[in-house]
Amino acid sequence: MPALRGSLTYARFFVEGELPEDFQDRSMRAIRLRAMKPLEPDEEALERSGWCAIGEPFELELGHENVFYNEFVNLGFRTDRWVIPGPMMRAKMKEAEAAYLQKKGREKLSKREKTELKELVAKKLRKQLSPSMSVVDLSWSLNDGIVRFFSLSPRKAALMMELFQKCFPVKLVPEAPYTLAARLGLSKAEERTWEELTPTLLGIGDLA
């Protein structure tokens, strides 16, 4: 989901912690270190996430001007993953198995041989394909202490939080009714009432 255009659907996260005086310089070093490194067919990694310029998934050489906009930190969170279509993998494996057995003069592969052959076939196919790519925009309002992540996917959010907290000396807390209430501040009486609340599950009949 883009922050600069299109639908404005996002998840919010609260930032906890004080920013150091050299925050921008320290952050840029950490961001550059964790900029996206595109997947290579021969490496073992099948998935990788990293930063890119917001709105520019192929811009991986990040400078201060790519990241800091007035009181905002803006980044793209890019994830690449190898996805080989099942029918293609099965067809190529069948060909590879037949050729291997013919060469060895045998009728059946061992479990180990099949595993090794599958990896060789996968590497060969990866050289003919490109990894699938997903990019989610992220905008951090430094003044408000709020990060907007333009995806509602829990998995992507978890990956983003892991990378974010490796780069910045703060804690990222997902928005939820309780965290929002704590951020707004509750009186003692309101805190007691809040702690006594229990969730209610609504059935279809309850919504009619």
Reduced to 3 states (helix: H, G, I; strand: E, B; else coil), residue 28 is: helix
Lowest mean pLDDT among 41-45, 54-58, 174-178, 204-208: 204-208
Report domain extents, the chain. 11-82+132-181, 86-126
Residue range 179-202, pLDDT digits in tens: 555 555 555 665 565 455 565 554
204 pLDDT exceeds 60? no
State the residue for tokens 């099965």.
90
Question: Which residue would you say has higher pLDDT here, 137 or 199?
Answer: 137
Give the model's pLDDT for residue 195: 59
Q: Give exposure, 42-78, as e/b (b: 16+ Cβ within 10 Å).
A: eeeeeebbbbbbbeebeebebeeebbbeeebbbbbbb
Tell me whether residue 199 is exposed, middle or buried, using C-beta atoms within 10 angstroms of its C-beta: 0 to 12, 13 to 18, 19 or more: exposed
Q: What percent of the chain has pLDDT over 90?
A: 76
